[in-house]
């Protein structure tokens, strides 16, 4: 009997690593022992260990690099964005739900950002804004990255890791859609304008204004996206 819970070996390994980080035995940047050694150490097979790593990878706890090893990830700035989950079998309605969620959360983080951002963080955001402005005229290539970076810095300066994590996930899910919007030079110009307004409110430490501008910005993105979705139906694989 006793089917209460037979913990899988894989899950045990995940817990082991997680606890190691929690109690400080493992720190961000640390390299774990090789698969060979760790599997012997924990008494599980390499296959099981790799499944656990796969899970930890997806949770963003570790990063695996062939030829180098497996590392505890630091909570670094938006360094590794692409690696996360793609997964887009979304219909239009779910895209709209994603955007609605983003509007709600990001409007609030913009507001919190006004209250909590350090001067250094504001400077960093300014630098990104500057790069975006210069970028928008010539190089649309990296504009989308800067756009996302702007939003993520804002969210980070809001000092709430839960909201940040949620926005990171939403960002990944909406990444392709955002790119499409920004491919249009006019869309990029508009985005710049909104970003400047948000930044201005941030400098003035005006939460309500920042919230309003962010909402206007995302509403604009939403409208553009709706237009695009109405005219193009294909969902590229």
The site for a second copy (CB under 8 A) is made up of: 10, 18-19, 21-23, 47, 50-51, 54-55, 58-61, 75-77, 79-81, 83-90, 94-95, 97-98, 100-101, 104-105, 108, 160-163, 165-166, 169-170, 172-173, 235, 237
Q: Give the footprint of DNA on this chain (CB under 7 A).
A: 3, 6, 8-10, 32, 34-37, 43-48, 50-51, 53, 64-70
For a second copy, the closer of residues 74 and 130 by Cβ is 74
CB atoms within 10 A of CB 174: 21
Binder of residue 89, out of a second copy, DNA, none (CB less than 5 to 8 A by kind): a second copy
Q: How far is the CB of 155 from DNA (least distance, A)?
A: 29
Binder of residue 86, out of DNA, a second copy, none (CB less than 5 to 8 A by kind): a second copy
For DNA, the closer of residues 47 and 77 by Cβ is 47
For DNA, the closer of residues 65 and 233 by Cβ is 65
For a second copy, the closer of residues 106 and 187 by Cβ is 106
Binder of residue 108, out of a second copy, DNA, none (CB less than 5 to 8 A by kind): a second copy
For DNA, the closer of residues 32 and 129 by Cβ is 32
21's CB contacts (< 8 A; 6+ apart) are 27, 61, 72
């Amino acid at each position: 009997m006793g089917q209460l819970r037979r913990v899988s070996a894989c899950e045990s390994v995940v817990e082991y690593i997680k606890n190691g980080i929690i109690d400080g035995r493992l720190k961000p940047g640390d390299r774990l022992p090789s698969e060979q050694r760790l599997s012997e150490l924990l008494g599980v097979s390499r296959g099981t260990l790799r499944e656990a790593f796969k899970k930890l990878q997806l949770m963003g706890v570790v990063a695996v690099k062939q030829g180098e090893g497996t590392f505890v990830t630091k909570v670094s700035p938006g360094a590794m964005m692409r690696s996360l989950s793609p997964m887009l079998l979304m219909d239009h309605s779910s895209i709209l739900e994603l955007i609605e969620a983003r509007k709600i959360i990001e409007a609030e983080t913009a507001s919190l950002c006004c209250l909590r951002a350090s001067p250094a963080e504001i400077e960093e955001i300014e630098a990104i804004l500057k790069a975006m402005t210069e970028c928008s005229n010539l190089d649309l290539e990296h504009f989308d990255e800067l756009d996302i970076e702007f939003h993520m810095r804002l969210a980070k300066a809001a000092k709430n890791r839960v909201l940040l994590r949620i926005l990171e996930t939403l960002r990944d899910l909406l990444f392709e859609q955002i790119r499409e919007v920004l491919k249009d030079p006019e869309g990029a110009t508009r985005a710049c304008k909104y970003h400047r307004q948000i930044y201005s409110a941030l400098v003035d430490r005006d939460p309500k204004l920042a919230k309003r501008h962010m909402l206007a910005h995302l509403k604009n993105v939403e409208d553009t996206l709706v237009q695009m979705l109405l005219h193009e139906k294909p969902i590229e694989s």
